[in-house]
Amino acid sequence: MHDASGCNSTYTTHDEPRWYDMDSMVYISALTEIEAIMGDDSKLIEDIVRAAEELHPRFIAIAGTPIPAMTGFDADAAARVIEERTGIPSFGFTTTGMKSYVHGAKQAFEMLADRIVEAGNNRNQSKKKRLHEECTDSRDTKQTNLENENVWSNRNLSVNILGLTPLDFSVNGSDKSIAEHYRKKGCSIISGWAMGSDIEEIKKSADADLNIVVSETGIGAAQRLKEKFGIPFRVGIPVGGEDIDVTEEFEQSIKNTLPCAVYPIEKTNPESTEEIDKTEIMILGERVNSFSFAKYISKKTGKKCMGYATTDSDEDEIVEMISSLKNLKVVIADPLFKPMLKLVKTLSLVNIRFIEYPHEAFSGRLYRSQIPNIISDVKMISNI
């Protein structure tokens, strides 16, 4: 971490909850004011090279923060110099600390796909092509992609699970529940990016038949692996033990820069707001999580449900969206979102029920013990 001294505790105790249970080599450059002003990049490079010679890491990553971003530090160039001197794969990330964690984690996963994953055998190319065709949405049925059991039956599929981060799934066993869900369907797990898999397992990711993206952080890697190795991908979290596929809604959301998806999906006039106005339940959070949870709740309750991605939305945008929902009855979100409802002038808070759904990336460790494993336990919505 290229940052001032003293900031390492934030990265290790808040951003990486696995810190206490596993070995890790996360260090900080202890950037001083004079180094920032004078641009003494050689000191950082020398420190990293010396540490690498002593510790022999499998790879080296340099992550930027606001100060080096303002002074124009070239992390990628520094990484190239370090790799040339040490022979160890080195990566530089142009993170600035001014965007959500999604942007940085996405860069990291894309780099793994580009630099670490090794070409596998090509014997499965025809199988991957057939799988891609078969799990594409049918225009004549409401059952889609991963929700179609024909995709899984008698296939012995090998899969990668992309987007597994402790900021999205905490340390409550959700990552293990996701893997177990697909094993029960007869799948073998090649790798989980990046909870539970080491670098050697990630190297073998090209052998997978299918990539399953469980958070927005994994979409870049999925796209890279599709381009390089022809591996199709699906987007969604198996909520409540059921396959939930939000690939189409996710892609439309990104394409149209819309932070939300509304379920059940109705064919309405694109200029009409009627569909959104009918929303009764709103889930705030990471894009894939909120979309998947909204789709699951809508299927179980028959109510109009919106998933809203908060990772790229500011407070005013979220308040504006909530204010536009005339029939809103329930908000499901991290507890720190609750005070925001007081800014919504058009709603009677007496009639709005708030269900706490903590998100590690938003409130850190404050509510970690209350984060539910929605893959195996959805009791929190039993009274909706």
Residue 116 lies in a domain: no
Per-residue pLDDT averaged across 77-102, rounded? 94
Strands (E) located in 85-232: 90-93, 158-162, 188-193, 210-213
* Pair (227, 260) in one structural domain: no
Residue 63 bridge partners (DSSP): 93
* Residues counted in the chain: 384
Residue 234 bridge partners (DSSP): 212
Please state which of the ranges 50-64, 143-157, 212-226 shows the lowest mean pLDDT: 143-157
Phi, psi of 51 (to 5 degrees): -65, -40
Choose one of 206, 235, 264: the last residue of a domain: 235
Per-residue pLDDT at 151 exceeds 70 = no
Residue type at 143 in one-letter notation: Q
3-state secondary structure of 91: strand
| Number of domains into which the chain is organized | 3
Residue 198 lies in a domain: yes
* Residue of 364, 233, 238 lying closest to 296 (CA atoms): 238
Taking the model in full, what pTM does it have?
Answer: 0.89
Listing DSSP states for 10-68 in one string gives HIIIII-GGGGTS----------HHHHHHT-HHHHHHHHHHHHHHH--S-EEEE--HHH
Residue 250 lies in a domain: no
* Pair (265, 377) in one structural domain: yes
* Angstrom distance (rounded) from CA 338 to CA 28: 35
Which residues neighbour 267 within 8 Å (Cβ) at sequence distance 6 or greater?
none
Residue 51 lies in a domain: yes
* Pair (199, 290) in one structural domain: no
* Pair (137, 215) in one structural domain: yes
* Angstrom distance (rounded) from CA 97 to CA 304: 36
Please state which of the ranges 76-80, 136-140, 182-186 shows the lowest mean pLDDT: 136-140
Give me the CATH number covering residue 347. Answer: 3.40.50
- pLDDT tens, 352-378? 899 999 999 999 889 999 999 999 999
* Pair (131, 211) in one structural domain: yes
Which residues neighbour 23 within 8 Å (Cβ) at sequence distance 6 or greater?
none
- pLDDT tens, 128-144? 655 666 666 543 455 55
Residue 48 lies in a domain: yes
The confidence score (pLDDT) of residue 304 equals: 95
The confidence score (pLDDT) of residue 19 equals: 78
* Pair (157, 192) in one structural domain: yes
* Angstrom distance (rounded) from CA 117 to CA 364: 31
The confidence score (pLDDT) of residue 124 equals: 60
DSSP state of 295: H
Range of the domain at 363: 255-381
* Angstrom distance (rounded) from CA 334 to CA 74: 36
* Pair (260, 231) in one structural domain: no
Give the CA distances from residue 176 to residues 159, 180, 194, 287, 375, in Å, rounded to whole numbers and listed in that order: 14, 6, 12, 21, 10
- If one compares 9 and 285, the residue with the highest pLDDT of the two is 285
Give me the CATH number covering residue 132. Answer: 3.40.50.1980
* Pair (270, 357) in one structural domain: yes
Residue 261 lies in a domain: yes
Residue 140 lies in a domain: yes
* Pair (375, 282) in one structural domain: yes
Q: Token pair of 289, please? A: 């999580």
Per-residue pLDDT at 315 exceeds 60 = yes
- What percent of the chain lies above the pLDDT cut of 70? 88
The confidence score (pLDDT) of residue 74 equals: 93
Give the CA distances from residue 76 to residues 45, 94, 178, 298, in Å, rounded to whole numbers and listed in that order: 12, 8, 34, 45
The confidence score (pLDDT) of residue 63 equals: 93
Q: Token pair of 138, please? A: 């049918």
* Pair (261, 307) in one structural domain: yes
Residue 106 lies in a domain: no
